[in-house]
Structure 1
Amino acid sequence: MTGCKRVLVIVHTVTYGKRLRDVVSLLEADFRVQVLFTAPPHEFGGGVAQFLQELGSVVLPWNEAVRMDFDLALTAGPRRVEEVRAPVITLPHGANYLKRLVGVGTGVSGSYVFGLGRPDLVPGGRALPAAVVVPHRDDLRALARSCPEALPVAAVVGDPAHDRIVASLPLRETYRRALGLRNGQKLIAVTSTWGPRSLFARIEMLLPLLSGEITRNGEHRMALLVHPNVWAAHGAWQVRAWLARCEHLGVGLVPPEADWRAVLIAADWIIGDHGSVTLYGTLTGAPILLAAAPEQEINPDSPAAALAVTAPALSAAHPLSEQLSYAAAEYRREDYAPIASRITSEPGGFNRNMRRLMYRTLGLGQPAYEPVTRPLAAPDPLPLPVSPGPLDSGDVEVTTYRAPLG
């Protein structure tokens, strides 16, 4: 198409790509707009090429993309975005702005909230983005502390994953059937972010607890959701090798390209850490157990900090069945509602607000129809557990995991 406005989608990692896929869907069916994708070099960029290929998108090599002019660029991460010749809209890649970083080597003293700090928004003193998307009005306080010059371009837009999860909650039984759960069977979703303080960094110690008596009686299934950065840093073969006994132990390993949101909705319990997926679990009504919540990594003003002092902590010293029963008995939806409400101050409004922001930046009028929030597609079935047995020559033992740094 000639005469189109050109939009560049910058996909550093699979995690960023998943978030941006929801955003660019708001440009569908508009013949005035051409969307192109690019992938900057990134240490967690493994899997991005396959992700973009499955989208069927036009992918520009990074060194070509930075020599071209675009009418808009969308990004969920800061790396090398200042090289792009376009008005840039930045978005969080997960729930809220949960993590803080110590400003070592960045020219920033102390710590700052990742995604809202000056190193992320004006690296090297470059020009401000056209817009900085925040999901909640309270995030403006963190922005005022870490990069006050960005306040004039901040836009309180909302959270796409929040809205799609809420829209999909009525389909819970559909998702449970798609996953292969029998009537009465319970699902435990185990969710991990990445890094040396994540749940997965302790997986060797936790795996016997997670896959002990609770899954052997057939009344429970377990799904393990590991952050795509872990898969990217170590490779799919290595992650599967570390967890090769999961099938025998009744744990279903969900691949990084799968949509975790339907699995979360289907869960009866959630065991997680300080990552976004665990926080989104507060929307589902499932009791939550925290296996890791490192204070030094959590933005103290974020809902993750509130969750860390509300959800009970998982203990390796007690049977999992007892802890699940305790979490269910102690769970009160009203305790978690304020945490869930802190994910976004624009519930149900992301599509409307984000589309308005993009079209204003493009200098185009919006399409004359309401941007509907679609329910999530049904997930693929969980792998069936295999009866425990001795290792044969083709099996790989679970070995020690070394968490990627960064």
Structure 2
Amino acid sequence: MSVTVPEPHWRHVPVRLDVERWATRRTRRRVLVVVHTVISGQRILDAIRLLEGDIRVQTFFTQAPDVFSNGVSEFLDRLGGLVLPWSQAVQTNFDLALAASHGSLHDLQAPVVVLPHGAGHNKFTPVVHRGRRVVAQRGVYGLSRQGLVRDGAVVPEVIVLAHHEELARLGRECPEALPAAEVVGDPCFDRLAVSLPSRALYREALGVRARQKLVLVCSTWGPDSLLGQGWGTLERLVTELPGDEYRIAALLHPHVWNAHGDWQVRSWLAELARSGLILVSPHGDWAGAVVAADHIVGDHGSVSLYGAMTGAPVLMAGRLDADVDPGSPMAELMSFAPRLHGDRPVYPQLKRSSVLRRSHQYERVAARITSEPGRFARRMRALLYRKLRLRAPATRTITEPAWLPLAVRYDEPGSVIPR
């Protein structure tokens, strides 16, 4: 479904692509990275980094229309890539385009590879109405006909999946898209796995002492999320748990920051920061914070699902009846992970969750995130070079551990300063 959003022409100036005679390097292939949202842009980075060092390939970026596009221009500015306005990108031929969302991809003049931008495919898309007429039925985001088919044709040339079981789900949702599907793996799963041995470094980066336990509160976006249901969970964790034994950190979905603004989020949480809350910066790597956690209090967002693989017990908050596909790994996690009850003391609930964590249910749901553990980089690079019709470099792919997480500082100029 296309969404009309004003294009930021003041940032993205048209670029002439026929300037080979002035170019320092003559490249053989042109790749377009299509960024709809900050979170989708972050996921695509895991793929395009696999082209690093190849002087045969020139990468361009563009911001696609999306209702959640706030923050994308700044994200692209930080990358320092060559950014084309959307109006130019859709009129230019590329050898390959990469995206991690689906809006307006049918307008591109390139074969498109679409990656998921979370852990699997868990959430439903809403029914779309035009007046009183239903124009798109409810379906699983990333697997539904609503996002994959346009004018009777499947739009992506490749639909990247993380697990073989998703093939069956895609076949139920959009069987004509099955020939385009390829099981590659999950880059975040692999990064978390290689980061686990460095857990002490991530804890130190967040200011957690050796004998303290870190409770990581993870909220996705929207009214059904942990924060969407109110501040009560954060407030209770900060006020009820003894500070000498526990540290509380909040990890918020980029849509929360981009919808309300960095200043506003810092302002809302300033009082809790004075009481010891660690606010994880959206400009750092979130994966290290997940590795550092001793307990995870989450909702139906992807981070809660990734937490199932780290060894930390997960307690669920947010809406219990969130719009999640009952056949997804997230639904399975929500079916057995204990719920944090607002009418009971927090401390014994955390203790009890540690006992329940010994169940093999966590390992089973973690195994549903990817059927190619540790192999995303190798398989994704092979896919990219096959579609680019180039021989892949002889160098071996390596999954790097997560960067150290950053905590929001309240003592910088222009910030909300705890008194």
TM-score when scaled to structure 1?
A: 0.91
| Inter-partner Cα distance in structure 2 for 1:376 and 1:255 | 14
| Inter-partner Cα distance in structure 1 for 2:169 and 2:67 | 27
Q: Percent identity?
A: 46
- Counterpart contact for 1:246–1:253, Cα < 8 Å: no
| Inter-partner Cα distance in structure 2 for 1:55 and 1:333 | 42
- Counterpart contact for 1:252–1:384, Cα < 8 Å: no
| Inter-partner Cα distance in structure 2 for 1:177 and 1:238 | 27
Partner secondary structure for residue 96 of structure 1:
coil
| Inter-partner Cα distance in structure 1 for 2:322 and 2:343 | 24
- Counterpart contact for 1:250–1:384, Cα < 8 Å: no
Higher relative contact order (CA 8 A, sep 6+): 1
5+ residue gaps, structure 1, are 386-393, 397-406
| Inter-partner Cα distance in structure 2 for 1:355 and 1:43 | 31
Corresponding residue number in structure 2 for 1:308: 334
Partner secondary structure for residue 211 of structure 1:
helix
Corresponding residue number in structure 1 for 2:234: 207
Corresponding residue number in structure 2 for 1:357: 383
| Inter-partner Cα distance in structure 2 for 1:126 and 1:256 | 37
Q: For 1:219-230, what aligned pairs fall within 5 Å after superposition?
A: 219-230=245-256
Distance 1:333 1:161, change over 3 A: farther
Corresponding residue number in structure 2 for 1:23: 47
- Counterpart contact for 1:223–1:253, Cα < 8 Å: yes
Distance 1:206 1:163, change over 3 A: same
Which residue identity lines up with residue 37 of structure 2 in the other structure?
T
Q: Does 1:71 align with 2:95?
A: yes
Q: How far has the Cα of 1:331 moved from its partner?
A: 1.6
Q: For 1:215-294, what aligned pairs fall within 5 Å after superposition?
A: 215=242, 217-292=243-318, 294=320
Match of 1:331 among 331, 352, 357: 357
Distance 1:45 1:157, change over 3 A: same
Q: For each residue in 1:230-289, what CA deviation from the matched residue of structure 2 results, as whole angstroms up to 9, or x when unmatched?
A: 111222222222222121222111122221100000001000001100000011100110
Corresponding residue number in structure 1 for 2:20: none
Aligned residue pairs, count? 387
Q: Does 1:183 align with 2:207?
A: no
| Inter-partner Cα distance in structure 2 for 1:102 and 1:33 | 38
5+ residue gaps, structure 2, are 1-24
Corresponding residue number in structure 1 for 2:56: 32
| Inter-partner Cα distance in structure 1 for 2:406 and 2:190 | 22
Corresponding residue number in structure 2 for 1:402: none
Q: How far has the Cα of 1:128 moved from its partner?
A: 2.9
Corresponding residue number in structure 2 for 1:159: 186
Q: How far has the Cα of 1:362 moved from its partner?
A: 0.8
- Counterpart contact for 1:113–1:299, Cα < 8 Å: yes
Q: For 1:109-148, what aligned pairs fall within 5 Å after superposition?
A: 109=137, 111-148=138-175
Corresponding residue number in structure 1 for 2:5: none
Corresponding residue number in structure 1 for 2:34: 10
CA RMSD of aligned residues (A): 2.0
Corresponding residue number in structure 1 for 2:13: none
Q: Does 1:93 align with 2:117?
A: yes
Which residue identity lines up with residue 221 of structure 1 in the other structure?
R
| Inter-partner Cα distance in structure 1 for 2:195 and 2:371 | 19
Q: For each residue in 1:112-162, what CA deviation from the matched residue of structure 2 results, as whole angstroms up to 9, or x when unmatched?
A: 110111121113435431101111011111211111111011001110000
Q: For each residue in 1:150-201, what CA deviation from the matched residue of structure 2 results, as whole angstroms up to 9, or x when unmatched?
A: 1011001110000110011101011111222112011110001111111110
Distance 1:384 1:338, change over 3 A: farther
TM-score when scaled to structure 2?
A: 0.88
